A and B are shown apart, each in its own frame.
Chain A
Amino acid sequence: MTDHPNTNGYLVGSNLERVLHAGNFAVTGELGPPQNADASVIRKKAALLRGYCDAVNLTDNQTAIVRMSSIGAGAIVVQEGLEPVIQMTCRDRNRLAMQSDLLGAYALGMRNLLCLSGDHQTFGNHPNAKNVFDIDSLQLIKMVADMRDECIFQCGDAFKGPEPRFFVGAAAAPFADPLEFRPYRLAKKVQAGANFIQTQLIYDVPAFATFMEKVRKLGVHEKTYILAGIGPLKSPSMAKYMKDNVPGILIPDELIGRMSKAGAPWAGKSKDELTKEDKKARSEAWQAEGIRITIELIEQLRQIEGVVGVHIMAIEWEEAVKLIVEGAGLYPRPVIPEPVKQAA
Chain B
Amino acid sequence: MIVAEQKTLDEIKTLVKSAQNVLVVGCGTCVTVCFAGGSREAAILASSLRMATQLDGSPKKVSDVTVQRQCEWEYLDPISDQVKDVDIVLSLGCGIGVQAIAEHFPNTWVVPGLNTKFLGIPLEQGVWAERCAACGDCILGLTGGICPIARCSKSLLNGPCGGSEDGHCEVDAEIPCAWQLIYDRMNSLGKLEVLMDLQPPKNWRSSRDGGPRKIVREDLRLAEED
Q: Please tell me if the beta carbons of B171 and A120 are within 8 angstroms of each other in the complex.
A: yes
Q: Please tell me if the beta carbons of A181 and B160 are within 8 angstroms of each other in the complex.
A: yes
Is B21's CB within 8 Å of the partner chain A?
Answer: no
Contacts of B195 in A (CB 8 A): 181, 184
Is B28's CB within 8 Å of the partner chain A?
Answer: no
**Pick from B184, B198, B201: contact of A191, CB under 8 Å:** B198
Q: Please tell me if the beta carbons of A120 and B198 are within 8 angstroms of each other in the complex.
A: no
Residue among A91, A171, A184, A247 with max Cβ neighbours from chain B (10 Å): A247
**Pick from A139, A143, A177: contact of B157, CB under 8 Å:** A139
Contacts of B165 in A (CB 8 A): 176-177, 247-248
> CB-CB contacts of B149-160 with A at 8 A, as 1s and 0s?
000011111111
Q: Please tell me if the beta carbons of A138 and B158 are within 8 angstroms of each other in the complex.
A: yes
Q: For the complex, what is the distance from the CA of A117 to the CA of B156, rounded to whole Å?
A: 8
Which residues between 175 and 226 of chain B lie within 8 Å of chain A, taking CB atoms? 177, 179-180, 183-184, 195-196, 198-202, 204
Q: For the complex, what is the distance from the CA of A192 to the CA of B157, rounded to whole Å?
A: 13
Q: Please tell me if the beta carbons of A134 and B204 are within 8 angstroms of each other in the complex.
A: yes
Contacts of A148 in B (CB 8 A): none
Minimum CB–CB distance from A124 to chain B (whole Å) comes to: 12
Q: For the complex, what is the distance from the CA of A176 to the CA of B161, rounded to whole Å?
A: 8
Q: For the complex, what is the distance from the CA of A131 to the CA of B161, rounded to whole Å?
A: 15
Which residues between 130 and 188 of chain A lie within 8 Å of chain B, taking CB atoms? 131, 133-139, 142-143, 154, 171, 173, 176-178, 181, 184-185, 187-188
Tell me how many residues of A have a C-beta within 8 Å of chain B.
35
Is A288's CB within 8 Å of the partner chain B?
Answer: no
Contacts A138-B158, A139-B158: A178 and B201 contacting too (C-beta < 8 A)?
A: no
**Pick from B155, B162, B184: contact of A171, CB under 8 Å:** B162
Contacts of B199 in A (CB 8 A): 138-139
**Pick from A91, A191, A200: contact of B154, CB under 8 Å:** A91
Q: Please tell me if the beta carbons of A133 and B201 are within 8 angstroms of each other in the complex.
A: no
Q: For the complex, what is the distance from the CA of A187 to the CA of B167, rounded to whole Å?
A: 22
Minimum CB–CB distance from A188 to chain B (whole Å) comes to: 6
Is A46's CB within 8 Å of the partner chain B?
Answer: no
Q: Please tell me if the beta carbons of B184 and A178 are within 8 angstroms of each other in the complex.
A: yes
Q: For the complex, what is the distance from the CA of A185 to the CA of B158, rounded to whole Å?
A: 8
Is B106's CB within 8 Å of the partner chain A?
Answer: no
Minimum CB–CB distance from A132 to chain B (whole Å) comes to: 10
Contacts A133-B155, A136-B154, A188-B198: A117 and B162 contacting too (C-beta < 8 A)?
A: yes
Q: For the complex, what is the distance from the CA of A187 to the CA of B177, rounded to whole Å?
A: 21
Tell me how many residues of B have a C-beta within 8 Å of chain A.
30
Is B166's CB within 8 Å of the partner chain A?
Answer: yes
Q: For the complex, what is the distance from the CA of A117 to the CA of B169, rounded to whole Å?
A: 14
> CB-CB contacts of B85-101 with A at 8 A, as 1s and 0s?
00000000000000000
Contacts A120-B171, A188-B196: A177 and B201 contacting too (C-beta < 8 A)?
A: no
Minimum CB–CB distance from A300 to chain B (whole Å) comes to: 22
Q: For the complex, what is the distance from the CA of A135 to the CA of B201, rounded to whole Å?
A: 6
> CB-CB contacts of B63-100 with A at 8 A, as 1s and 0s?
00000000000000000000000000000000000000
Q: Please tell me if the beta carbons of A188 and B158 are within 8 angstroms of each other in the complex.
A: yes
Q: Please tell me if the beta carbons of A177 and B161 are within 8 angstroms of each other in the complex.
A: no
Contacts A177-B180, A184-B196: A119 and B159 contacting too (C-beta < 8 A)?
A: no
Q: Please tell me if the beta carbons of A178 and B164 are within 8 angstroms of each other in the complex.
A: yes
Q: Please tell me if the beta carbons of A136 and B159 are within 8 angstroms of each other in the complex.
A: yes
Contacts of B153 in A (CB 8 A): 120
Q: Please tell me if the beta carbons of A119 and B158 are within 8 angstroms of each other in the complex.
A: no
Q: Please tell me if the beta carbons of B154 and A131 are within 8 angstroms of each other in the complex.
A: yes
Contacts A181-B160, A181-B183: A122 and B198 contacting too (C-beta < 8 A)?
A: no
Q: Please tell me if the beta carbons of B157 and A136 are within 8 angstroms of each other in the complex.
A: yes
Q: For the complex, what is the distance from the CA of A131 to the CA of B155, rounded to whole Å?
A: 10
Q: Please tell me if the beta carbons of B183 and A120 are within 8 angstroms of each other in the complex.
A: no
Which residues between 138 and 155 of chain B lie within 8 Å of chain A, taking CB atoms? 153-155
Minimum CB–CB distance from B209 to chain A (whole Å) comes to: 8
Q: Please tell me if the beta carbons of B162 and A178 are within 8 angstroms of each other in the complex.
A: no
14 A-B residue pairings within 8 Å (CB atoms): A91-B154, A120-B171, A136-B156, A136-B158, A137-B156, A139-B198, A173-B162, A176-B164, A177-B167, A178-B183, A181-B195, A187-B196, A188-B158, A188-B198
Q: Beyond the given A177-B180, A184-B196, please list 16 additional residue pairs across the A-B interface where CB-CB is below 8 A.
A: A117-B156, A120-B154, A120-B163, A120-B171, A122-B171, A123-B170, A123-B171, A131-B154, A137-B156, A139-B201, A143-B201, A178-B164, A181-B195, A184-B195, A200-B162, A248-B162
